[in-house]
């Protein structure tokens, strides 16, 4: 009878051993499948996002060895740097506890809005491009087209922005002058002009994206505002919304306008029409209120016939 008891104990021991082994194997299999699914989803998500990124910024924009330039606008002070052989302190720096300190400063200067914009877009590229983008001045790349060019600043301050906006492919957004000399943004399809006004404390910026026909696989992009916050707000909006813009426009050319609250790039939002303007506009011998124009539609003030483009800002043939 002892051998029977021993046999039963052996079978029971093997049974519990097999149950434990099966449990461990099943747990390991579940863990492996979980990890495979987790990383596979991340890989697929990253690949999809990278593809969407390259549709907007160019298929070559993430390839090592291909040029990507964030082009900043630099300009010079009109005051003389040297008078009677002495360097002039043309600038000042305001410190929190020291007040204003005068300094000579450089020959060429740059707005802080362009620096902010460069930071936003460099961070966007860092996720999909191992090689860092090159931040350069518009003077450095004035004759360069062999790259993805992302320009900060308007055609008034950035050489490359001017060249890109003057391309015949750009039929979407541009800078114009109104009859009274006010700088404004003209957007295709909009029933009005985007202008800065004391009555509407908002800045406006444009984002124009064109294919680089001189170097296929690259893009030409301009982020520019009427004021500094329009420029940096446009760059922030592009850095945060490139995925949506890629879904909407694919790799096609486009132009949009963003509205920005001065002092807050994060407030940038896309707008299709300018707000009603409060002021006056001449109609024949009399004047009517801007708000009446927009509420009654009695005068088509926003039609292109009422605009005067800068004569020095003509499209290239």
pLDDT of residue 285: 32
**Is 122 inside a domain boundary?**
yes
Q: Three-state SS for 95?
A: strand
Q: Three-state SS for 115?
A: helix
pLDDT of residue 110: 84
Model confidence over 163-207: pLDDT tens digits? 999 999 999 999 999 888 889 999 998 888 999 887 778 999 999
* 295 contacts 267 by C-beta, under 8 angstroms: no
pLDDT of residue 299: 29
Q: Which helix (H) or strand (E) holds 229?
A: helix 228-249
pLDDT of residue 235: 98
Q: Three-state SS for 63?
A: coil
**Is 289 inside a domain boundary?**
yes
Provide the mean pLDDT of the chain.
Answer: 80
Pairing outcome for strands 219-225 and 148-152: parallel
Phi then psi for residue 14, to 5 deg, are -65, -35
Distance between CA atoms of 6 and 185, rounded to whole angstroms? Answer: 94
pLDDT of residue 16: 62
Model confidence over 245-266: pLDDT tens digits? 999 998 999 999 999 999 999 9
pLDDT of residue 49: 85
pLDDT of residue 220: 98
Q: Is the pTM of this model over 0.85?
A: no
**Is 6 inside a domain boundary?**
no
User: How many domains does the chain fold into?
Assistant: 1
**Is 45 inside a domain boundary?**
no
pLDDT of residue 289: 37
| Radius of gyration from C-alpha coordinates of the chain | 30
Judged on CB neighbours under 10 Å (0-12, 13-18, 19+), 287 is exposed
pLDDT tops 60 at residue 18: yes
Model confidence over 214-244: pLDDT tens digits? 999 999 999 999 999 999 999 999 999 999 9
**Is 47 inside a domain boundary?**
no
pLDDT of residue 288: 33
What is the domain extent for residue 107?
58-77+87-306
Which region, left, alpha or beta, applies to residue 279 given φ > 0 means left and ψ of -120 to 50 means alpha?
Answer: left
Distance between CA atoms of 185 and 188, rounded to whole angstroms? Answer: 10
- pLDDT above 90 covers a percentage of the chain that reads 52
**Is 12 inside a domain boundary?**
no
**Is 96 inside a domain boundary?**
yes
pLDDT tops 70 at residue 47: yes
pLDDT of residue 43: 54
* 187 contacts 172 by C-beta, under 8 angstroms: yes
**Is 177 inside a domain boundary?**
yes
pLDDT tops 90 at residue 316: no
Model confidence over 76-100: pLDDT tens digits? 888 888 888 888 888 878 888 888 8
pLDDT of residue 165: 96
């Amino acid at each position: 009878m002892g051998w029977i008891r021993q046999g039963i104990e052996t079978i029971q021991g093997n049974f519990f051993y097999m149950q434990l082994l099966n449990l461990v194997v099943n747990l390991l299999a579940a863990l492996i499948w979980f990890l495979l699914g987790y990383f596979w989803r991340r890989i697929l998500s990253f690949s999809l996002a990278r593809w969407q990124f390259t549709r907007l910024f160019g298929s070559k924009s993430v390839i090592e060895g291909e040029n990507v330039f964030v082009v900043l606008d630099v300009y010079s002070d009109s005051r003389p740097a040297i008078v009677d052989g002495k360097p002039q302190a043309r600038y000042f720096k305001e410190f929190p506890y020291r007040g204003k300190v005068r300094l000579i400063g450089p020959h060429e200067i740059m707005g802080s809005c362009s620096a902010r914009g460069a930071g936003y877009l460099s961070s966007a590229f860092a996720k999909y491009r191992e090689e860092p983008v090159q931040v350069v001045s518009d003077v450095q790349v004035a004759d360069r087209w062999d790259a993805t060019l992302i320009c900060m600043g308007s055609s008034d301050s950035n050489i490359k922005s001017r060249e890109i906006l003057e391309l015949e492919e750009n039929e979407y957004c541009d800078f114009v002058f109104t009859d009274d000399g006010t700088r404004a943004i003209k957007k295709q399809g909009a029933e009005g002009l985007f202008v800065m006004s004391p009555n509407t404390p908002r800045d406006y910026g444009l984002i124009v994206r064109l294919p680089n026909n001189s170097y296929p696989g690259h893009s030409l992009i301009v982020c520019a505002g009427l004021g500094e916050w329009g420029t940096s707000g446009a760059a922030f909006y592009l850095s945060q919304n490139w995925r949506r813009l890629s879904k909407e426009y694919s790799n096609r050319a486009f132009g949009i306008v963003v509205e920005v609250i001065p002092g807050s790039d994060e407030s940038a939002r896309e707008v299709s029409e300018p707000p009603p303007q409060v002021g006056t506009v001449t109609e024949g011998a009399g004047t009517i209120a801007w708000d009446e124009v927009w509420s009654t539609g009695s005068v088509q003030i926003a039609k292109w016939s009422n605009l005067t483009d800068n004569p020095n800002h003509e499209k290239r043939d």
